Structure 1
C-alpha cells in the first residue's frame, strides 16, 4: 500500500450505491418500526395460539397422546427463540440507523475541533 498517491478513480473497493442519506436511514428505521416489528410480533402471536391449540389437541385427554404433541411443542419453543432473536435484531438495526447520523456528525465535529487546536510550534 502506498500512501503518497491518489486513490484510483471511483474511490476504494466499495460499491458506489452503498451511500445513503439521513432521510433514507430514517425511512428504513421507520419501516422497521411501523411494519417489520409489528408484523413479526403478530406472526409470532398467531403461531403461539395455533400451535398451543394443536399441542393440546394431539396430547390426548386420556394420557395416550400422539408423538406429534411434544414434537410440536419443541418446534414451537425453537420458533419463539428465533422470533425473540429477530425482534432484538430489528430493534438493534433500527437504533443503529437512527444513531448513525448523530455519530458521524459528532465525529466530524470532534475531528474539526482537534485539527483547529493550535500547536506549540505555531508560537515559534
Structure 2
C-alpha cells in the first residue's frame, strides 16, 4: 500500500482558537493578547465577582431563617461556603490567565534570547 496524498476530508470543526481541520491559527499577536487581558480585567473579572457576591445576602438570610431546628440551615451554609470557594478559585484563575497573557511576549523573548546566546556559545563560526 502506498499513500500519495492526504485524504480530502480530515474532519474537525472550528474550535475556540479558530482552527478547522488542518489549519493552524494558534498564534496570536501581542495586541490580541493585550486585548484578551483587558477583557478579563474590565468585563470577566467584575462580572464574575458580581455574580459570586450576588447570592451572599440572600443566602445569609435563608441560613438565619432556617437556623431554628432545620437541617437545611447547615446544608445551605455548607453549599454557600463551597460556592464562595469556587468563586475565589475562578477569580484566582482569571488573574493568573490575565498575567500570563500580559507576560507571554516577555517570556518568549527571554527564551529566544537565551536560546540564541546558548547557540552562539557553541558556534564553530566564531573561531574563524
TM-score, with length taken from structure 2: 0.72
Structure with more contact order per residue of length (Cα contacts < 8 Å, sep ≥ 6): 1
Moved over 6 A (4+): none
Equivalent residue, structure 2, for 1:33: 41
Residue by residue, what CA displacement relative to the aligned partner does 1:77-108 show, whole Å, maximum 9, x if unpaired? 11011111111111111111111011111222
Higher helix proportion? 1
1:94 aligns with 2:98: yes
1:48 aligns with 2:56: yes
SS at match of 1:16: coil
Unaligned runs of 5+ in 2: 1-21
Number of equivalences: 109
1:59-78, aligned counterparts within 5 Å? 59-60=67-68, 65-78=69-82
Equivalent residue, structure 2, for 1:19: 27
Q: How far apart in 1 are the matches of 2:63 and 2:113?
A: 58
SS at match of 1:17: coil
CA RMSD of aligned residues (A): 2.4
Question: Using a 3 Å threshold, how does the CA distance of structure 1 residues 122 and 77 change in structure 2: closer, same or farther?
Answer: closer
Measure how far apart 1:110 and its partner are. Answer: 2.6
Q: How far apart in 1 are the matches of 2:49 and 2:83?
A: 12
